[in-house]
Amino acid sequence: MTQFDADAMHRLAKLALDAGEVATPEAALALFQQYRLRIHLGEGWANTLAGQACVLTAVSTASRALLGGVEVTGDLTPVIQVPLFAGRPAADVVAALGGTVMAAPTARLPSLLIGDGAPPEGATLALRPSWDGWWAQVAPADSAGHLTVGDDNPLAGVCAGALAVSEVFSHVRGDSPEAGYRRIGVSLWNPLAIEDWHAPENRGPALAYLPTDLWLIGLGHLGQAYAWGLAMLPYPAQRRPRLVLQDVDRVTESNLSTCMLVGADDFKGRKTRVMTRRLEAIGFEIDLVERRFGAQHRLQPGEPTAALFGVDNVAARRDLDTAAFALVVEVGLGSGYRDFRNLRLHTLPGPRPATELWPAQAASQSSTELNTAYQQLARDSGDLCGVTILASKAVATPFVGAFAAGLALAELVRPLHGGGVHASLDCPLRSLTHRLGEPTPANAHCAFIALP
């Protein structure tokens, strides 16, 4: 009987095994239970949907990555307004997302200050995420130059929250000496702007249009991050999007460490049904497709012609050429302990077809090599098969997925406001200034609604 259930292992703590830092899955979890965070909510954090999206994204992603716990202090009196949690008290939502509301915070923790006010006292590190229009930034809390909100764009809030947690993670892991002591940011209006990302022309216009009638293919790590971002946007209650949700998998224990819209009560349920319950409850119109995406995929009259693709499978990506979508935004994430914070985005149709972007030979399964820790586990357990399956699983975490979803959704929203798209976009979250891409004029639009 297999002793190592690959679908039960925490997908971020697994990196400690992959890197050879620990010898057992239990030791990997114990290491990650030493990582903690305090989030302090200052004045005005809830005045914008972007601010709310920032807080909720930070709490949700940090609670799944920093297993020692996420303490939340400060102003928890507002009622949440983003569609996914509209009408619920902030304290209740924070608790539901895995945060612990504290009146007396623990000293000597890395901290995020979200909103206005003085940096938290006694913090080992204090960062402040901020946002304005299509800009998202993270900087030391006691530094100058924080963004002042003019236009409200929740996608910037999602990216700011995810980026802040990424910086804290790099700091506690000690894998990036600059993490937590630098100002970093991105313009979702022009993600290839590096030094001048905060130039006025890269702030972008006010949100006036939002996509609707979308196909979400794959409802795991990325697919749920896409849905999270969509559910933060200011859709009118009577005009929430129509989504086609496509997946065949059920919720596993490891999904709790990577997926933003599932909880322990959803274990073993179909991802399509779990997502449908969450999204229909807030007014989204949902259709289900419970079969694998492949070469047989054809659009029927009246079905959405724009898709967000989140399947980590080369063969399925190659089949995007035959699906006849007018627009596809596809994201692939790194899977190893060194590159799991890297993402590559494609917008299709583009200069090259999917079959050229992903050659057939790229779909071949490479053998899994076991490092010393996994070899010892195999010897101790006598379960070489189970250990090999565990070793082959990707390292993943939702703060990477949430940031990737913000970029992907911007590819849908930007053309609706007169901006272009990117045939490709490479973005290493650990070193944000090293992003590369291939801009191209918008060649297709998704269905949209105008905001009141």
The residues annotated with a catalytic role in the active site are 385
Residues 6+ apart with CB under 8 A from 190: 197, 201, 202, 204, 419
Residue 206 φ/ψ, nearest 5 degrees: -65, 145
CA-to-CA separations, 409 to 104, 184, 285, 334, in angstroms, rounded: 38, 21, 19, 19
Is residue 314 helix, strand or coil? helix
How many angstroms separate the CA atoms of 419 and 441, rounded? 8
CA distance 356 to 381: 43
CB 329 within 8 A of CB 414: no
Give 3-state DSSP helix, strand, coil % of the chain, rounded to 5.
35, 20, 45
Which of 344-365 are b and which e, b meaning 16 or more Cβ less than 10 Å from the residue's Cβ? bbbbbbbeeebeebbeeeeeee
Closest Cα partner for 350 from 236, 442, 431?
A: 442
**In what helix (H) or strand (E) does residue 386 lie, and over which residues does it extend?**
helix 384-392
